[in-house]
Structure 1
Amino acid sequence: MAAIKGGKVRKEQTFHCHGEAKRKDIRTASKTISRKSTFWNRKNNQKKKDNTLHRHAIRSELRRALNTDSGTTNTSMGAVLQGTAAVRETFVGGRGVIRTAKRVRDITKQVKHYKMLHPKEKLLQVNFRKRQLKVLGKDQKKQLVKGGIGLTKEFGKNTKEAIVASLDSSGTTNTGAGSIHMTVRATEVTVDTIRTGKKVYKTAKRIREFHQKSKAKKKAAKVAASKLQQGTKRKLWKVAGDAVKNVLMRQPVVIAAILTGGILFSLLISVMASSTFSMATMNFILMDEKTAAKYQVEMQKLEDSFQKKINDYQKKPGYDDVRIDYMCESGELKPNWAELLAIMAVEFEQDLSFLPEEQRRMSELFNMMNVIKTRTEHFFCSGCCTCGQSALHCHGNHVRLIVEVYAYGMDEIPLNLDEDEMEWARNLATSDLSDLFPAICPPNETIPPEILADLIANAPSSCVTREEIRQTALSLVGRVKYFWGGKSAAGWNKSWGKSVKVTSPGDSTTGTYQPYGLDCSGFTDWVYKTAGVGNLLSGGSAHQWNVSYPISEKDLQVGDLVFKQPPGTGKNHVGIYVGKNESGKKFYCHCAWTQGVTVDSYKGFKYFRRPYVKFDEPKGKGL
């Protein structure tokens, strides 16, 4: 605002009230702080003056004592100086004693608490205490320093009184000095004891850690020894099996008497001492008749229970139709007891005695190898009565329950076996179990030598060589995919690779559209037809099994057939042997599920057979 005064215009000063009030408060506060600081400075200065006067008073008293009696004073003064030094050392040592004693006390409590804990809780407590002591150590140091200062002040007062008393009597001063020396000595002993206690605690801790490490090493050594023992036992059974097999082939009556008499151990010792027997894996399961009878009853129970589950699905309400699909080529499935017992024999190292753990493991393996899966299907029926309903209820929408029954082999389920153990199990799976379990396991195919010779002599002749079979099989590698139920005429098929609906039952792809190709038996049939042998293998894997005869693995020749398992025990697989490399590794050409036509050393082929046909060459060259 502006005002007119004396013909002149002047501006009035404007103040901000709040700003001025703050400035006044700041000035008042600063003055108050200045007054307080002056007060405390004066007080501190007065304390300093008082302390100085006190020291001067002590010195004057000492001088008067010196003038009174020089001899007594000299003696007392020396004692006082020694006593003062000793007291100072006692204070320093006392602080250390207090700190160390407190730490020893805490450690003792921790050790008592630690002994009462569980091993896992001990480890957690140790780690927690380590972190806690790091944090609490600083606070304890501060408290000890403060306490030490207070003790020093108290001992200082007592020392002054002792010095004044020593001026009156030299004997008293000497006695006090002696007491001080004894105190110093006791303090030194206490400190040494605490140091020794620390060393003992550290040593005990190291011993405890060493004991724990030794315990862990002992446990690891025990596990390693157990594995070594199992491996040795497994090798022993392999050697024994080879020996028993050789003796059994030569003198079955003698070996039966040996087994009945329980002298198998002496047989094993003689086998180990002999150098004529190799470490070859035996191909039959060792089991006495009583144990076999118990196993047969349990196997029959599992098989009946599995079949009952399938039958129960057929009576399940809520569906218009129920269809049972056996997921294999033949349309029927039986449990593969040979492979199941082979796994059992390897896992229990040929020591089967029908214990509870063996029964549980057999049930687990059976459930892994025989699986039932279900799914539903919605369809419309127009009165054709194909849905299983009467003509009055046929027309309309329906729901069908599809029950799929799968049978898996040992190479298709998860097993905790290494490669050597799996090879052993594969060899055992080819054993003849009909003698042990005649009601469940059919005998292996055996053809009398004279009949087999007659069949081979009357087999059709072919101008095709085994090498031509191999080259024809290799011509499709990487070019044709797997197609369930895929068959083809000789030569290249233009439909391969085109999307075609899968119509053959027994597979998860049935009813879907897939790139057309060949299945495993369709591939072997195509190879023989294209090479010029003819329609000998026209059919599925079961037919190809029937038009061939068994041979040993060492007698394999190029063009022979290899099978995964016998017909009726699951989804089979067949391929063609195409030779081996320089190191003796065998190779097979087959149409695999995921890869199509390929060449590899598939371990699942356990059965080797030769078709009834005469090739132009008796043997083919190695791959």
Structure 2
Amino acid sequence: MKAADRSARTAQKTAQATAKAPQRAVKAARATAKAGAATAREAAKASLAAIKGAVAAAQELIAALAAGGWAVVAVVLVLCMVGLLIASPFGLFFSNAEGNGSGIPQAVAQINGEFTARIEQIKEETPHDILDLDNDAVTAVLDNWCNVLAVYAVRTSADGGSPSGLDGLTAENLALLREVFWDMNQISSFTETVPKGEDETEIVLHITAVVKTPQEMAVEYGFTDERKELLEELLKPEYQELFQTLIGSTQDLTLSVEQVQEILDSLPDDLSEERRQVILTAYQLLGKVNYFWGGKSLVLGWDSRWGTPKEVWAAGSPSTGTVRPYGLDCSGFVDWVFYNISGGSYIIGHGGGAHMQHTYCTPITWAEAIPGDLVFYPEDTHVGIVCGFDSGGNVQIIHCASGANNVVVTGKSGFTTIARPSYYTS
């Protein structure tokens, strides 16, 4: 009975703490909205203070609910943050789900794709023998998004107030965001004829990018003193971090509580812990990494090269010689998963492709399939990982697919053989 009483008291305290958190969030949101009527800089500061207050309150709640209530805390924290942000100068970064479906994360991915496509267009339209692509400059462009968003936010603001567009990223706002991006990040190219031998020459195509600073854009756009003040506030480190969060950085590979639970629900109850971790690790890249022929990565966590335009160097693909966002191919994805699950101590296939990975496995039948086993196309032209079963008991496969240009989960269509990696102890 005593244990039951303690449990009841804990539940009551949990409920009381959970109930107070949204109330604090509402008060903070109202304070933030009210601050919006003051100067832009004051509004920005008030928003940040309110958001920090919500985080501090949530941290207190986490401590109070350490004995099992952390999932509730995560939900409360998200609700608090969303409420605060919508009422703050950052409200414009939330998509209107009933609108065109284009939020900031989607817009960033779309415009990055256009940037890569522009490089490929220059390459295709300019006769050359050798491509000299300034990868450092290209990376600087892709890392410049926080500054782009800060300038964009100020351009959409009224002098002395907060940025507009609180109803989501409309088509008009998307066009303006694209304009700011290309104004701040400009691609330049030129060709150079160099000697190749005694009587031969070859043409080198140089492609680079020039990144403008937010201060340069303030002058170019003719910002008023009020807007310059707001821009300087938004360029502070704490806001740059918040912008990165709003972008939906794919560098955060953490799965949510709901995602983990959904994945685990699809797995057998008696599945070994090492296989569970393989599946959860594989899901960390779901929908986040482009397909890139010959793309490999022996990096723990997010590989900073992913998404950076690079020329496909590996032979044997229609994409060979084209410039695409760097990512993984099918065997590269499997390599990354096992490398990460082992803490960097194991490379399945020992550096080879899908065929080499197959040789380090034991053949099994489909009836013996267990999540974590590998599956292959005929002649080992493609590889994936068994990641669970659908409601009908059919095998589900997670793999980096060229057709989807990403990591996806599908049925076993196309996969003809299955094998068990020697990595597993059982």
When the two structures are superposed, what TM-score results if normalisation uses the length of structure 2? Answer: 0.36
When the two structures are superposed, what TM-score results if normalisation uses the length of structure 1? Answer: 0.26
Decide which structure has greater helix share: 1
